[in-house]
Amino acid sequence: MVAVNLTPDEFKTAQKRRQRLRFWVLMLLAVAITAGGWATMIYFDYRRANQTLHRITREYQDLQHTIKALGQVRNRLDLWQDRIALLNELNHYHDFVRVTDYLTQHSPDLIYLEQMKFWRPDKPQSTDQPKTQSKAAHMFILKHGAEGEAVAATDTNIEPIMISLKGRSVNYQAVADYLQMLSSADIIAGAQLKYSRRQSALSSETGEIVDFEIEARLLPMLSP
Query: Concatenated DSSP letters for the chain?
Result: -------HHHHHHHHHHHHHHHHHHHHHHHHHHHHHHHHHHHHHHHHHHHHHHHHHHHHHHHHHHHHHHHHHHHHHHHHHHHHHHHHHHIIIII-HHHHHHHHHHTS-TTEEEEEEEEE-TTS-S-SSS--PPPHHHHHHHHHHTTT-----TT-TTPPP-EEEEEEEESSHHHHHHHHHHHHT-SSEEEEEEEEEEEE--SSTTT--EEEEEEEEEEPP----
Q: Per-residue confidence at 197, pLDDT binned at 50, 70, 90?
A: confident
Q: Per-residue confidence at 60, pLDDT binned at 50, 70, 90?
A: very high
**Predicted pLDDT at 213:** 92
pTM of the model: 0.48
Domain ranges (residues) in the chain: 12-92, 107-218
CATH architecture of the domain covering 107-218: 2-Layer Sandwich (3.30)
Tell me the pLDDT tens digit for each residue of 113-164: 888 888 877 665 544 433 333 444 344 333 443 333 333 344 445 667 888 9
Tell me the pLDDT tens digit for each residue of 9-29: 777 777 788 888 888 888 888
